[in-house]
Chains A and B, each alone.
Chain A
Amino acid sequence: MFSLLNRFPWRGYGLVEAILASFMLLTAVIMSVSIFDSSLQAEASNEKRIMAALVAESALAEIRDAANNNLTSTAGAYDGRTWTDPDYPGFQIECTIQEAELAVPCTVLETQYDRAAAFPQPTGRYLTSSCLKADLKVSWADGRNQSITITEYITSFAPADDFALSLILPGGSPATAATLVTLAKDEIQEFSVIARSGGQEVGDIQFSWYVQTLTGFGSIHAVSRDGKLCQYQNAYRNFDNKTKYSPGLCFLVVTAKYQGREAVAQVKISNEP
């Protein structure tokens, strides 16, 4: 027997060697399979993610349409709502809507102003009723629960057909075509303006004031940063910063733009000599 082994030096594997080799082989196979498996899961998940993006876009379009029709009722209709698009039955949509406040033109600039300041001190400008913050979560089951979340600020882009301004006199009544406000020399009067559309007061509008000369003119003394309040003075300053007077009639005019429409309101002022 020993002579035979000496004559044939090669021999088979021992049981331990074979088990070790098969263990290593098995490890290699399991590793390659797990790599395939995770790549498969990722690919399948990517396809679902593309579909989820379509679902989210469609759901956002529904909310945008609701906002275009009635911005104020949109939050009540969609906040906390959960629903499924019939064309994508495996995807569940959850929506949260909050009121959003936007600084105009930017937060960095507007936060420098004191929000509690009273006119004519400047204060920050914020849009408080122009848009809603919608958080939309689309979830689906793909082995484990998966989801995407999209956040969008939503506003109404529907054109306002009946947008109008009402210039408010110092006494609180609205100016009419027949109104004539008489101001003594150097006198300052404060006017305000209200914008309306669809029977409701419209907030978050930037107003612009100017003086239109007829037979005389005064000047804009101060305007609040949102343009809602304006102080008119029966006087003006020339380039040498000297106070001058131009007695006679003029219009104080205020304008604003809202959803593609421009509105104007004015009041006639008599500047006394």
Chain B
Amino acid sequence: MNRRIGARRGFTLLEGLFSLFIVFLVLGGLSHTLSQAATVKKNTKHLDQATEEFHSLFTMRNDVMAALAIISPSAGATAGNLRLLRVNPDMSYATRTDVIGDPLNAFEPSEQVTVEYQVEDELLKRDQTAPSGVTSTERLIEAELLEVTLSSTAPSLLTIRLSLERARVTKQRSLKIAVSQI
């Protein structure tokens, strides 16, 4: 009698349960998707950090491989910085052998620079100092500590160790470099 007078009716138990199932399914899928998106963001950040760490360590490696001399650390010692002497990477070979200075010497003191890596204000920095005293600083990566060890015998093994704080967790990254002569 009531069903005829009022055209609307409520859900049956089966319909209600089924609707709830679909709603939970959609909400579950949505929350899972959102959590996955958060993980993607976190992973992308970690990947960026790993790329930066790799780049920083290999920038140091390139400088060591091109070094004419390693000033710090000394043989058999560990230091909080890496200091070396190398040919100015901003000068081409043609520039270094032109008529200015000695055209037969591509390694004149005026064509060399001192490169120093150190952690300052929780940043790993690369300082390049020309003989004129002009220094250019490059900020590489956030880091807590830099530790460089040079084994005592030559040919030698140089170990660079970086401590990095990532999401309140301290991580260690290291790279070894074979040095044929110091």
Contacts and interface: CB of A to CB of B under 8 A. Distances in A.
Interface of A: 4, 7-8, 12, 15, 18, 22, 25-26, 29, 32-33, 36-37, 39-40, 43-44, 46-47, 50-51, 53-54, 57-59, 61-62, 64-65, 68-69, 85, 87-88, 156-159
A33 B39 CA distance: 12
18 contacts: A33-B32, A33-B33, A33-B36, A43-B40, A47-B46, A50-B51, A50-B53, A53-B54, A54-B53, A58-B174, A58-B176, A61-B176, A61-B177, A65-B155, A87-B161, A87-B173, A157-B180, A158-B154
A68 B4 CA distance: 98
B93 interface: no
A57 B178 contact: no
A69 B176 contact: no
A249 to B, nearest CB: 35
Contacts of B121: none
B21 to A, nearest CB: 7
- Interface of B, secondary structure class, is helix
B174 A85 contact: yes
B177 A43 contact: no
B33 A40 contact: no
Interface stretch (B22-30, B67-75, B101-109, B130-138): B22-30
A272 B162 CA distance: 72
Interface in B50-98: 50-51, 53-54, 57, 61
Contacts of A159: 180-181
B29 A29 contact: yes
Given A54-B54, A87-B173, A159-B180, 14 more contacts: A7-B7, A29-B26, A36-B36, A50-B50, A54-B53, A54-B175, A57-B175, A61-B157, A64-B178, A65-B155, A68-B155, A68-B180, A157-B180, A158-B155
A55 B111 CA distance: 34
B155 A87 contact: no
B121 to A, nearest CB: 25
Contact of A4 (B4, B15, B43, B179): B4
A46 B47 contact: yes
B2 interface: no
Interface string B159-182: 001000000000011111111110
Contacts of A8: 7
A68 B153 CA distance: 11
B156 interface: yes
Contacts of B7: 4, 7-8
A36 B40 contact: yes
B144 to A, nearest CB: 15
Nearest to B11: A12
Contacts of A51: 50
Nearest to B47: A47
B105 to A, nearest CB: 17
B124 to A, nearest CB: 15
